[in-house]
Homo-oligomer: A and B are copies of this chain.
């Protein structure tokens, strides 16, 4: 339901949570499995939204502009492709302009619900979840709970 671009942006931000050093677009692309040339565009959007900082030149790359606890999923979504809320009647009916009809009200309520969920979810909270499968990591958490794949 969300666009591919949003998925890419979220992967990039999650990958950047490892704050060892600046990640080059190329290295990030490998880690996130996103086409490198396209990821560059996505990173530019994230930079414009002040979610990541770009550093050119040797040893350059991208880092998060804020701690993961200060970045919500919604911010990332909005940086690349904001959820299009229904503001006015899609049919252009004047009478519906101020107050949406019940059909579009219902749809927009669903969008609002998603926005709210994303607005209250930080990247930090996602990374803090006790889930054996860590985002972007092929390996199970080291020393973590048992591997459900091999437990039979």
Contact = CB atoms under 8 A, between A and B. Distances in A.
A93 B136 CA distance: 8
Interface in A110-152: 110-111, 113-114, 117-118, 121, 126-127, 129, 131-140, 147-149
A129 B104 CA distance: 12
Interface in A1-20: 1-2, 7, 10-11, 14
Given A98-B148, A136-B91, A148-B98, A103 B117 contact: no
A70 interface: no
Interface range on chain A: under 10, 10 to 19, 20 to 34, or 35 or more? 35 or more
A132 B99 contact: yes
Given A94-B149, A138-B95, A110 B118 contact: yes
A74 to B, nearest CB: 11
Given A1-B111, A110-B114, A113-B113, A133 B33 contact: no
B91 A33 contact: yes
Interface of A: 1-2, 7, 10-11, 14, 32-33, 73, 83-84, 89-107, 109-111, 113-114, 117-118, 121, 126-127, 129, 131-140, 147-149
Given A101-B131, A101-B133, 11 more contacts: A7-B90, A7-B107, A10-B103, A14-B103, A33-B92, A73-B106, A93-B137, A97-B149, A102-B126, A106-B126, A110-B117
